[in-house]
Amino acid sequence: MDGPGSTTPPGGFEVVITDRRWRAHVPNAVLRVGRALAASGCSASVALTDDRVVKKLNFRDRGKYKPTNVLTYERPPEILLAFGVVAREAKRERKSVANHLTHLIVHGALHLRGYDHHHPGEAREMEAEEARILARLRVPNPWKNR
């Protein structure tokens, strides 16, 4: 994931920011990504991109012609987030884009560690692990007051 806007901070992960709105809304995005990955026990490259890119990949790889908030890929381990979707969700859920970004990095990292949420039991287990990790990062539990 090399290129303009690419940053490799200490810790060995790489963050590529292709949509400048990420920097405007989350000035410490690279730091937040690094902390979320470390707290999740995951090493992955991260792309903070836009809805158009994620929509294309979501269609190519999942057959769904719409953007989604986060996509994960196992080989190489990679997490991609779509700014527009993330910002709309954050606004709707009355949370900051920064906290939602952190939650979705944790969510993607847990997918890479083998967690899933296709069945209710799996979803409860994944949500509980997300809440534990987010508490360590001082991010409010996204599953409270749903």
Q: What pLDDT digit, counting tens, does each position of 59-94 carry?
A: 999 999 999 999 999 999 999 999 999 999 999 999
In the predicted model, residues of the chain with pLDDT beneath 70 are 1-12, 145-146
CATH code for the structural domain at 6-136: 3.40.390.30
* CB neighbour list of residue 120: distance below 8 Å, 6 or more residues apart: none
List the chain domain ranges: 6-136
Residue 30, pLDDT score: 95
**Reported pTM:** 0.90
Query: On the CB side of 39, how many CA atoms lie within 13 Å of its CA?
Result: 24
Q: Are 44 and 36 in contact (CB under 8 A)?
A: no
